[in-house]
């Protein structure tokens, strides 16, 4: 199984070890091309996954503000997601492939 993320014609992440949850693929940190990411000030708290930070995705002059996120302080239930990176497809980032493993919300049986 493999997954790939592209933006503005460039591959920004590619891996055979993505995790999936709630319709998103999360890429291992070492599989993400960090030259295309710049830190964002945005933070978010998810009730079950924990606290996340964001990156802007910048490729050849085109920017997807807050286009990537990662859980730097995940909850115990989502600890496997620590520092894995997901991308916002609504901002023009294409994500394809399938997860090697799915993480299920702890209180919802079968929800992925």
pLDDT in tens, 43-98: 999 999 999 999 999 999 999 999 999 999 999 999 999 999 999 999 999 999 99
pLDDT at residue number 104 = 77
Is residue 109 situated within a structural domain?
no
pLDDT at residue number 109 = 53
Beta strands in 32-102 (DSSP E): 37-46, 50-59, 62-74, 85-87, 94-97, 101-102
Say what percent of the chain tops pLDDT 70.
Answer: 93
Is residue 41 situated within a structural domain?
yes
Is residue 75 situated within a structural domain?
yes
Bridge partners (DSSP) listed for residue 85: 27, 70
Is residue 68 situated within a structural domain?
yes
Is residue 44 situated within a structural domain?
yes
pLDDT at residue number 112 = 45
Number of domains in the chain: 1
DSSP summary character for residue 34: G
The pTM score is 0.91
For residue 112, give both structure tokens. 């992925």
Is residue 111 situated within a structural domain?
no
pLDDT at residue number 111 = 45
């Amino acid at each position: 199984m493999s997954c790939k993320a592209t933006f503005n014609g460039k591959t920004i992440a590619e891996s055979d070890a993505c995790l999936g949850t709630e319709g998103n693929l999360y890429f291992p940190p070492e599989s993400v091309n960090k030259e295309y990411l710049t830190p964002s000030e945005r933070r978010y708290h998810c009730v079950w996954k924990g606290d996340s930070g964001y990156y802007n995705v910048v490729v050849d002059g085109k920017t997807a503000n807050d286009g990537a996120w990662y859980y730097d302080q995940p909850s115990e239930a989502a600890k496997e997601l620590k520092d894995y990176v997901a991308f916002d497809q609504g901002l023009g980032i294409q994500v394809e492939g399938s997860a090697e493993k799915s993480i299920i919300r702890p209180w919802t049986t079968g929800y992925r």
